[in-house]
């Protein structure tokens, strides 16, 4: 008896039924595919245009597909930086009745790129370090949530620009497991695996001449261990000090905020005679600046972008002598008078190349640079025109990035 196609999803898009599920994914026709850059994967993956958006479809075994779907849903409920699962497709058969692998469907993360595409377009000695920083923050965030990844690598991560840095998103949760709390052994295994995989991936880039030969890939791989351990310690370590140094409580909170984490609870204890105080963060949530900007303006941006925009908001507030005004009202005026006009000053046909918040950040950077160069305070409107003509016009479109160099012919991460 022939199997029946089954779609498991929280909300089913009827257009999924129109896709050629009776055909192996690697043979899907070009008219349903979206030409987006793909990295390396153990499975066949394709990007597909569906209902005015782009989805990623990965052929995989049924048990693993359901496991990854549930893990991604759980991470979504925890607001972890990961791709959004849409559906699991089972019961696939060819017209001759041959069983086909199940499929996991996820939402394509707009403006995101796999690491190989980033290196193919933006080769610089600093790129590897920035990606390592982003992956370290992602790994710490996942571990704080109790998520054991089990397959940490650059290949299983997507990256979005974030005010000169990168924000990392988990894209493959096949081996992942959520626990109430991770053991040191689980955390250390993830970190050590990340180091090993990153070194191998960077060696592959050097072999393909996408990364300079003089880059010490062993040193870069070691960086994720150093970065992870220092960040984990800052977020979780207990700190002791004299009772007269209570200012260090606020200093610890400020350091955590600077790293992009909020402190929901602190445990504060004193010794018997009250001379020594110990503090330890108990609940730390990522996205401190993101949430602050969202609350003030409604803008949903990356963490570093939010930090940069809040700094500009502070400058706007000081320049107009509005320090005593309600911050929400000042933020509303800044949005109307600064952010929105700056983004809209960019020609419409070029705005889709980067996220609006990244365009705003780059305009501010460009304005500072040309002001220094010309030794004068360049007006924003002039800076936008210069940035558009000399920088943005020559950038690839990262919302729908078409890669023509060969990466697009490989399998991809989903």
pTM above 0.85, yes or no: no
**Residue 93's domain spans which residues?**
6-108
> Is the distance from CB of 236 to CB of 282 less than 8 angstroms?
no
Which residues, other chains included, contact 178 with Cβ-Cβ below 8 Å and sequence gap of 6+?
Answer: 71, 74, 75, 145, 146, 147, 148
Burial readout 194-210 (b: 16 or more C-beta within 10 A, e: otherwise): bbebbbebbeebeeeeb
Same domain, 210 and 274: no
Phi-psi region of 204 (alpha: psi -120 to 50; beta: other; left: phi over 0): alpha
Residue 246 included in any domain: yes
Which CATH number belongs to the domain containing residue 181 in this structure?
1.10.510.10
Give yes or no: residues 340 and 377 share one domain: yes
The answer to the question of residue 132 being in a domain is: yes
Six token digits for residue 87: 């559906």
Q: What is the CATH number of the domain that holds 52?
A: 3.30.200
| Number of domains comprising the chain | 4
pLDDT one digit per residue (tens) for the chain, 414 residues: 456 899 999 888 889 999 999 999 999 998 888 876 555 567 889 999 888 888 999 999 999 999 999 999 999 999 899 999 999 999 999 988 899 999 999 999 888 888 888 776 555 657 788 889 889 989 999 999 999 999 999 999 999 888 777 889 999 999 999 999 999 999 999 999 999 999 999 999 888 888 888 888 999 899 999 999 988 988 888 877 776 676 777 787 778 777 777 666 667 677 766 667 776 665 556 677 888 888 898 888 888 888 889 888 988 888 888 888 889 899 999 999 999 999 999 998 898 888 899 999 999 999 989 998 898 888 889 999 999 999 998 877 655 544 433 333 333 344
Q: Are 226 and 150 found together in one domain?
A: yes
Are 367 and 341 in a shared domain?
Answer: yes
Read off the tokens for 5.
């196609």
Q: Same domain, yes or no, for 278 and 384?
A: no
Asked if residue 358 and residue 342 are part of one domain, the reply reads yes
Q: Same domain, yes or no, for 88 and 147?
A: no
Do both 197 and 261 map to the same domain? no
Best CA proximity match to 108, nearest among 361, 401, 380, 358: 401
| Domain assignment present for 410 | no
Contacts of 319 (CB under 8 A, 6+ apart): none
- Say if 383 falls within a structural domain: yes
Angle of helix 127-144 relative to helix 184-207, nearest 10 degrees, comes to: 160
**Per-residue tokens: 230:** 């220092």
For residue 183, being part of any structural domain is answered with: yes
Same domain, 87 and 125: no
Tokens linked to 141: 């965030």
124 and 176: one domain?
Answer: yes
């Amino acid at each position: 008896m022939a199997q029946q196609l089954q779609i498991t999803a929280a909300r089913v898009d009827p257009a999924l039924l129109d896709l050629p599920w009776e055909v192996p994914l690697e043979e899907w026709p070009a008219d349903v595919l979206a030409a987006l850059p793909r990295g390396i994967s153990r499975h066949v993956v394709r990007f597909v245009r569906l209902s005015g958006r782009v989805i990623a479809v990965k052929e995989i075994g049924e048990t693993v597909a359901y496991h990854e779907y549930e893990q991604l849903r759980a991470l979504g409920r925890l607001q972890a930086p990961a791709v959004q699962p849409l559906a699991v497709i089972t019961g696939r058969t060819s017209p001759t009745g041959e069983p086909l692998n199940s499929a996991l469907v996820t939402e394509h993360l707009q403006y995101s790129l796999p690491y190989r595409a980033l290196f193919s377009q933006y080769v610089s000695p600093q790129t590897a370090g920035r990606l390592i920083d982003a992956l370290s923050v992602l790994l710490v965030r996942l571990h704080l949530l109790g998520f054991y990844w089990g397959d940490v690598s650059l290949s299983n991560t997507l990256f979005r620009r974030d005010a000169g840095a990168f924000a990392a998103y988990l894209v493959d949760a096949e081996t992942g497991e959520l626990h109430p709390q991770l053991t040191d052994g689980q955390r250390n295994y993830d970190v050590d695996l990340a180091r090993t995989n990153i070194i191998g991936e960077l060696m592959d880039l050097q072999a393909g001449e996408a990364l300079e030969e003089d880059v010490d890939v062993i040193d870069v791989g070691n960086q994720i261990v150093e970065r992870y351990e220092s960040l984990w310690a800052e977020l979780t370590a207990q700190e002791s000090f004299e009772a007269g140094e209570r200012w260090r409580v606020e200093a610890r909170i400020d350091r955590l905020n600077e790293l992009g984490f909020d402190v929901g609870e602190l445990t504060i204890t004193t010794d018997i005679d009250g001379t020594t105080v110990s503090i330890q963060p108990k609940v730390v949530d990522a996205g401190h600046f993101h949430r602050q900007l969202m609350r003030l303006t409604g803008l949903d941006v990356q963490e570093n972008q939010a930090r940069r925009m809040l700094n500009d908001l502070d400058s706007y507030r000081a320049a107009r002598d509005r320090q005593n005004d309600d911050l929400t009202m000042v933020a509303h005026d800044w949005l109307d008078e600064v952010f929105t006009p700056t983004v809209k000053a960019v020609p419409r046909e070029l705005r889709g190349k980067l996220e609006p918040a990244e365009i705003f950040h780059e305009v501010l950077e460009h304005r500072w640079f040309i002001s220094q160069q010309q030794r004068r305070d360049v007006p924003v409107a002039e800076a936008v025109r210069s940035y558009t003509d000399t920088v943005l016009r020559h950038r690839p479109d990262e919302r729908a990035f078409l890669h023509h160099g060969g990466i697009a012919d490989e399998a991809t991460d989903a």
